[in-house]
């Protein structure tokens, strides 16, 4: 199809869809209380822009924190949640190169919880055919974050130990897949003892259940008193503080989540005399500082592993976009085995 024909076809597609379903909230609060599905006009495309018909989007903790008003900068209301997803190109605006109508793409933008999104064509990531819709929809937030933290920020080498909290989460399970690829040893912290055997079956070397174990004592027993050189923490609060205590001299903890909604208590003397480091990791900030070349290299590497089936984000359930209330209730249930997706 020529460039002019593609633009003409795009225009025909736009005429067919004049309204779309969109999840919105006009006040911050509990997602089950404030999220609503509305019909809104389908957005037009401008120069360099692409209209994508969304197929699937995950419900991530960052999405729900955004709705509550606790994540990053407060959005201007009314707003639509969702930071990632996948879909099919429906229409091309003028001056778009290298993309075509009908192509499967990974979307990284705010507001994916709607039927269509308009994005700059340069920000789309083509999805390999061997990567399922369900995996492609989750590509950005969890697989990329896990890969960057483990291989770039912490630069762990084969045989080294990594401690992670919230190990039963989707990101935690992806970390286990990465650890297998990189020949790392893992210590995995969970809240419920029933998760232990499941994670062991997925390749976890050690599992610590905070219902039963003293985290610091167990880590020291596992490491013969040495502590761990690196950790990633999604919980914060006292759990995060205990992880800091379990670090080896010179150890580093990356804080990437706020599940407890509590600050991490840190012992200053411990930090000084063990020369420990605690720093935050936010994927948005990484994209801002990483060069385009670095981004392309890492995105390509993670996609290759996903295409081979070596990194597969787990899925527990799929809900139609219109069933948003039930979907977010499910997403916040304890003990999930995978991500809840919004489809349609």
Render pLDDT for 255-292 as a digit per residue (tens, 0 to 9).
Answer: 999 888 899 999 999 999 999 999 999 999 999 999 99
CATH superfamily of 141-285: NAD(P)-binding Rossmann-like Domain (3.40.50.720)
Residue with tokens 């900068």: 73
pLDDT for position 337: 86
What pLDDT sits at residue 108? 94
> 235: Cβ–Cβ under 8 A, 6 or more apart, which residues?
165, 166, 257, 259, 260
Q: Are domains 3-138+313-343 and 141-285 of this chain identical in fold?
A: no
Three-class DSSP category at 52: strand
- Asked if residues 340 and 59 have their Cβ atoms less than 8 Å apart, the reply is yes
User: At 282, phi and psi to the nearest 5?
Assistant: -135, 120
pLDDT on residue 5: 44
| 278, β-bridge pairs | 253
Instruction: Give pLDDT, residue 73.
Output: 77
pLDDT tens figures, 156-209: 999 999 999 999 999 999 999 999 999 999 999 998 888 888 899 999 999 999
The domain locations on the chain are 3-138+313-343, 141-285
First-residue to last-residue Cα distance in the chain: 28
Peptide bond preceding 68 in cis form (omega within 30 of 0): no
Residue 296: what pLDDT? 95
Per-residue confidence (pLDDT) for residue 197, from 0 to 100:
87
> What is the structure's pLDDT at 17?
61
Distance CA 117, CA 124 (A): 11
pTM of the predicted model over 0.85: yes
317: which 2 tokens?
Answer: 């359930």
Q: Judge if the upstream peptide bond of residue 333 is cis by omega within 30 degrees of 0.
A: no
Q: CB neighbours of 119 closer than 8 A, spacing ≥ 6?
A: 49, 50, 52, 107, 109
Arch. (CATH architecture) of 3-138+313-343 = Alpha-Beta Complex (3.90)
Calculate the average pLDDT of the chain. Answer: 93
In this prediction, the residues of the chain whose per-residue pLDDT falls under 50 are: 1-15
Nearest to 54 by CA among 35, 33, 81: 81
């Amino acid at each position: 199809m020529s460039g002019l024909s593609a633009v003409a076809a795009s225009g025909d597609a736009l005429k067919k869809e004049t309204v779309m379903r969109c999840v919105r909230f006009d006040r911050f609060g509990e997602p089950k209380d404030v999220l609503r599905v509305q019909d809104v006009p389908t957005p037009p495309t401008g120069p360099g822009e692409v209209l994508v018909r969304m197929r699937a989007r995950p419900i991530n903790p960052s999405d729900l924190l955004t709705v509550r008003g606790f994540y990053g900068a407060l959005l201007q209301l009314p707003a639509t949640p969702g930071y990632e997803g996948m879909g099919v190109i429906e229409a091309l605006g003028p001056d778009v190169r290298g993309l075509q109508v009908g192509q499967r793409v990974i979307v990284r933008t705010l507001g994916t919880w709607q039927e269509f999104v308009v994005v700059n064509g340069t920000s789309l990531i083509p999805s390999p055919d061997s990567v399922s819709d369900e995996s492609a929809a989750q590509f950005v937030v969890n697989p990329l974050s896990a890969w960057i933290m483990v291989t770039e920020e912490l630069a762990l080498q084969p045989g080294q130990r990594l401690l992670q909290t919230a190990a039963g989460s989707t990101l935690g399970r992806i970390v286990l897949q990465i650890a297998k690829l990189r020949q790392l040893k893992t210590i995995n912290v969970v809240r419920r003892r029933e998760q232990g055997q499941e994670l062991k079956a997925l390749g976890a070397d050690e599992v610590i259940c905070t219902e039963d174990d003293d985290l610091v004592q167990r880590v020291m027993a596992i490491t013969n008193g040495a502590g761990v050189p690196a950790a990633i923490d999604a919980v914060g609060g006292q759990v995060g503080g205990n992880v800091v205590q379990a670090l080896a001299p010179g150890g580093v903890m990356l804080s990437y989540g706020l599940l407890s909604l509590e600050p991490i208590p840190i012992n200053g003397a411990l930090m000084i005399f063990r020369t420990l480091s605690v720093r935050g990791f936010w994927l948005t900030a990484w994209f801002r500082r990483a060069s385009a070349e670095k981004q392309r290299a890492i995105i390509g590497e993670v996609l290759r592993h996903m295409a081979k089936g070596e990194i597969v984000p787990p899925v527990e359930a799929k809900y139609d976009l219109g069933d948003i209330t039930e979907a977010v209730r499910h997403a916040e249930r304890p003990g999930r085995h995978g991500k809840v997706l919004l489809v349609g």
